[in-house]
Amino acid sequence: MALLAELVALQKQGEAAVLDRVADALAALGGLIESISYEPADVPLIDEFATGPAMDAGKRRAVVARFAGDGTGRSLLVFAHPDSERFTDATNWQHDPFAASVAEGRMHGWGIADDLAGVAAVVAALAALRKAGLSLAGALAVAITPSKRHARGIAAVLERGPSAEGALYLHPAESGAGLAEIKAFASGVLEFEIEVAGVPPATQEPSHTAFAHQAVHPLDKAMLLIDALRRLDARRGARIHHPRLEAAVGRSTNILIASISAGDDGMRQRVPAGLRLSGSISFPPTESMKAVQAEVEVALAAAAADDAFLSQHPPTLRWLSGVSGSDVADDHPLYEIAARAIADITGIAARVNPMHTSSDIRNPLVQKGIPAIGLGPLCGNLTHAGGHDEWVDIEDHLRTVTVAATIMTRWCGTASQGEAPENAA
């Protein structure tokens, strides 16, 4: 837990300080270190995109540590992300966000569950193997890569290599299930915005209220488009089915209208000249992103064509970002090894939570065809979900370290004799 506490404290100095400390720790364990500097917008992607407003500008850095093995086992990529939500203030925090305070079996800290615990677990698992006198037969690559706000760190690493036969993403379970859950499925998601024009009344009067019947209100036209999207949503929900999603929530795809903005709060007697609405669409890995986009575009175009005003003033649809989903079956060897490791160490029969829309587990499979799963300890009060005093359960974190080390040995094999680590703590 000492490294995890240190990483929490280092966040005060910024992401670079965290990366430097992790690179030193991985080098001390025998890793061949590579630092990758990249521009997120320049990373080539398959079935994924993001526009400028959806991502941070400027160069980012990822750290990769390679452990060669002896070439007789399967190769594995283990990854986690060092960046957290931007620090704003800690007004509602009861614990110092950078002190790694411990209370009631939990360690608190800014970004500790998203994803400093995963970063620290990678290093601790490798240290446990070294202490047990084990070296891996298969090649192991550890990638500590930025993720937030479409940072595309793992995609940048995959684009330059290394390749692997499987990938393990270490990240605490946002659901609060801890090691009872394995991330093996992620839906794709598209984010969009639509601009709708209106026409204020033809008057020079500062108040439009008495003339409102002469205006074309953009909200009236937006409702036509929203109705079209709702009808499309219903058709898609009836047509598209995935067993994992159906079992979890009874539906495999959704269209969500998340926000509508128009006018000015201080101008209550004016008809707005336009309106903007935004939303998102989830879709299973069995669908292509382009096919989903095409359905939406056709539905909106048909709604506009049926309205006299919209046919002459068509709405503007902008796709802001999109990622494709991924799916690793329960009978895949990587999943089976992870499930057995969790059962052996914790006694828990883990299950798949298919509700991690756009999870980073998608990247190895979508970008390079590498099956990937994820797991991590109990956590809570995540900052990115609006919480405060973010925490990770200490005992479950230590169990995660042992589980990760066990997965490494069982997937990659060992090059020397020894017992698999039972107490990585």
Mean of pLDDT values over 193-201: 97
pLDDT class for 338, splitting at 50, 70, 90? very high
Mean residue pLDDT of the chain comes to 93
pLDDT score at 416 = 58
For residue 393, the SS3 value is strand
pLDDT tens track for 310-325: 999 999 999 999 999 9
Structure token pair of residue 289? 């992103």
Q: Give residue 294's identity as a one-letter amino acid code.
A: A
DSSP string covering 349-390: --EE-TT-TT-TTHHHHHHH---EEEE---EE--GGGT-SS-
Contact call for residues 324 and 285 (beta carbons, < 8 A): yes
> Mean pLDDT across the stretch 22-51?
93
- Which of the residue ranges 170-179, 288-297, 370-379 would you say has the lowest mean pLDDT? 170-179
Question: For 232-258, what is the mean pLDDT?
Answer: 97
* Residue 308 banded pLDDT, cuts 50, 70, 90: very high
Q: Are 62 and 145 in contact (CB under 8 A)?
A: yes
Q: How confident is the model at residue 173 (pLDDT cuts 50, 70, 90)?
A: confident
Residue 424 confidence (pLDDT): 44
Least confident range from 201-205, 234-238, 387-391: namely 387-391
Is the confidence at residue 309, as pLDDT, over 70?
A: yes
pTM for this prediction: 0.88
The pLDDT value recorded for residue 194 is: 98
At residue 421, the pLDDT reads 53
pLDDT the model gives residue 425: 38
pLDDT at residue number 150: 83
> How far apart, in whole angstroms, are the C-alpha atoms of residue 139 and residue 131?
19
Domains 2-186+325-412 and 188-323 share a fold: no
- Model confidence pLDDT, tens digit, residues 41-61: 899 988 998 887 767 778 999
Band of pLDDT at residue 423, cut at 50, 70 and 90? very low
**What's residue 325's pLDDT?**
94
Q: Provide the β-strand partners of residue 293.
A: none
3-state secondary structure of 166: coil
Instruction: Examine the pLDDT at 143 and tell me if it is beyond 80.
Output: yes
Beta bridge partner(s), residue 379: 392
CATH number for domain 188-323, candidates 3.40.1180.10, 3.40.50.1220, 3.40.50.10310, 3.30.70.360: 3.30.70.360
Beta bridge partners of 191: 280, 321
Band (356; pLDDT cuts 50, 70, 90): confident
- 286 token code pair: 């069995």
Tell how strand 188-197 and strand 274-283 pair up.
Answer: antiparallel
Torsion on CA atoms 80, 86, 89, 94, rounded to nearest 10 = -10
The answer for residues whose C-beta is within 8 angstroms of residue 419's C-beta and 6 or more apart is 132
Q: Where are the domains of the chain?
A: 2-186+325-412, 188-323
Which three-class secondary structure state does DSSP give residue 221?
helix
Please tell me the distance from the alpha carbon of residue 351 to that of residue 200, in angstroms, as a whole number: 55
pLDDT per position as a tens digit, 371-405: 999 999 999 988 777 788 999 999 999 999 999 99
Q: How confident is the model at residue 163 (pLDDT cuts 50, 70, 90)?
A: confident
Q: What is the pLDDT of residues 82-105, one digit of tens each?
A: 988 778 778 889 999 999 999 999
Number of H helices, E strands in the chain: 11, 19
What is the third-level CATH fold of 2-186+325-412? Aminopeptidase (3.40.630)
Distance in angstroms (rounded) separating the CA atoms of residues 169 and 79 = 5
pLDDT at residue 326 in the model: 95
Q: Are the CB atoms for 399 and 346 separated by under 8 Å?
A: yes
Q: 274 near 218, Cβ under 8 Å?
A: yes
